[in-house]
Amino acid sequence: MRIGIYLFCLTPEKPLPEVTGTGIDGEHPLLVEDIGMIAAVFSEVNLEDFTGPEAQARLEDLAWIGPRALCHEEVIMAVMEHVPVLPVRFGTVFSSLEAMKEPLRRHRDTWSSFFRNTAGKKEWSIRAYVDRVQARSQIMNWRLAEEKGQLESLSPGKRYFLEQKIKGAVEREVTSWLKGISEDILNIVQEVSLSFSERRLLSREVTGLDSEMFFHGAFLVPDHSVDVLQGLTGDWNSHHEAQGLRLELSGPWPPYHFAPVLDMQG
């Protein structure tokens, strides 16, 4: 077995985190290495799990990746309980300890700047969902109320055709309405956050929900603003529930979507 180095995350050099447990193979212990201005949380791993002719198939096997990706996240979350972290993407492996240190030294100014900029802040995720049937019904009622006077003045046949025309326009109006709602959500949350990263929308097959996701964002939020953010989310849901809308707030998370992406090759 060829031994490699699996990197989980980086932390500020001092204080060095105390880590316990094992890496993603459940065998090799977690370790911490001081690299000057930063420290690396890592473990040894079988290099052949991530490189070589059989690695690609293994990395496409959800049954193999799933528990290891979960372990990767759990290690980062555990370290975050004690010190700030810069999470490293799943599957970052080096051939040796020195091969890991070299790119980390090369970019240490960037890592240090990241820790200064994210000190006292965490990532929070906001997803917004809509019940399309309820939303269409709500907008339809609004439009029928607006046209009530005209509808009552028409003959039954003409009234029917106008109602059908209104119904045909409602779906387009729902899409436009949701776009405006998304902008409102962004404006509200940005009042208590410092950075925003747009995330891809997830399908109902992925979320397992009947409602449709129409907004998904990651926000970098100061720790002292979390109570305000939670209050804003609760108030927003109270005011929009009747329209078939709901916000889902989750966190705190390591700043996954605000970490620098740099060349980690030795």
Query: 22 near 75, Cβ under 8 Å?
Result: no
Would residue 231 count as lying in a domain? Answer: yes
* Residue 165 clears pLDDT 70, i.e. is over it: no
DSSP annotation string for 73-129: HHHHHHHHTTS--EE--TT-EESSHHHHHHHHHHTHHHHHHHHHHHTTEEEEEEEEE
Tell me, yes or no, whether 83 and 169 share the same domain: no
pLDDT of residue 40: 93
Residue 209: which CATH number?
Answer: 3.30.70
The 10s digit of each residue's pLDDT in 9-53 is 999 877 777 888 999 988 999 999 988 888 999 999 988 878 777
Looking at per-residue confidence, does 233 or 2 come out higher? 233
For position 134, what pLDDT does the model report? 82
Regarding whether 214 and 136 lie in a shared domain, the answer is yes
Per-residue pLDDT for 154 more than 90? no
Strands 212-222 and 121-130, sheet pairing: antiparallel
Considering the domain architecture, whether residues 23 and 81 belong to the same structural domain is answered as yes
Mean pLDDT along residues 196-203: 95
Single residue among 72, 98, 119 that ends a domain in this structure: 119
Pair (127, 115) in one structural domain: no
Domain boundary residue, one of 104, 119, 134 = 119
Report pLDDT digits (tens) over 202-252. 999 999 998 999 999 999 999 999 999 999 999 999 999 888 899 999 999
Residues 148 and 97 in one domain: no
- Domain extent, residue 57, equals 3-119
Domain-embedded: residue 266: no
Residue 177's pLDDT is 86
Instruction: Identify whether residues 23 and 106 lie together within a single domain.
Output: yes
Q: How many domains does the chain have?
A: 2
% of the chain at pLDDT higher than 90: 53
Least confident of 45-59, 89-103, 146-160: 146-160
| Same domain membership, residue 80 and residue 130 | no
Q: Are residues 162 and 202 in the same domain?
A: yes
Q: Give the burial class of 130: count Cβ atoms within 10 A of its Cβ; 0-12 exposed, 13-18 middle, 19 or more buried.
A: buried
Kindly state the DSSP code that residue 30 receives in the 8-state scheme.
P
Show the tokens assigned to 124.
Answer: 């929070």
In a domain, 262, yes or no: no
Q: Are residues 169 and 90 in the same domain?
A: no
More confident position, 80 or 141? 80
* Cβ–Cβ < 8 Å for 90, 242: no
More confident site: 104 or 173: 104
Sheet bearing 245-253, strands edge to edge: 195-198, 212-222, 121-130, 245-253
Reply yes or no on whether the pLDDT at 266 is more than 60: no
Predicted pLDDT of residue 162:
60
Say yes or no to pLDDT of 264 above 70. Answer: no
92 in any annotated domain:
yes
> Do 137 and 108 fall within a single domain?
no
- Among residues 119, 145, 175, which one ends one of the domains? 119
pTM of the model: 0.80
Amino acid type, 83: V
pLDDT for the residue numbered 198:
95
pLDDT at 168 over 90: no
Q: Is the dihedral of CA 197, 203, 206, 208 positive or negative?
A: positive
In a domain, 55, yes or no: yes
Residues 108-117 have pLDDT tens digits of 888 889 999 9
Q: Give me the mean pLDDT over the 184-196 stretch.
A: 93
Average pLDDT over residues 125-140: 85
Residue 139 CA to residue 209 CA, distance in Å, equals 22
Residues 144 and 175 in one domain: yes
Residue 155 has pLDDT above 80, yes or no: no
**Res. 2: pLDDT tops 90:** no
pLDDT of 133 strictly over 60 = yes
Which residue has tokens 């031994």? 3
25 with 135, same domain?
Answer: no
265 located within any domain: no
Span 141-169, average pLDDT: 62
Q: Is residue 96 situated within a structural domain?
A: yes
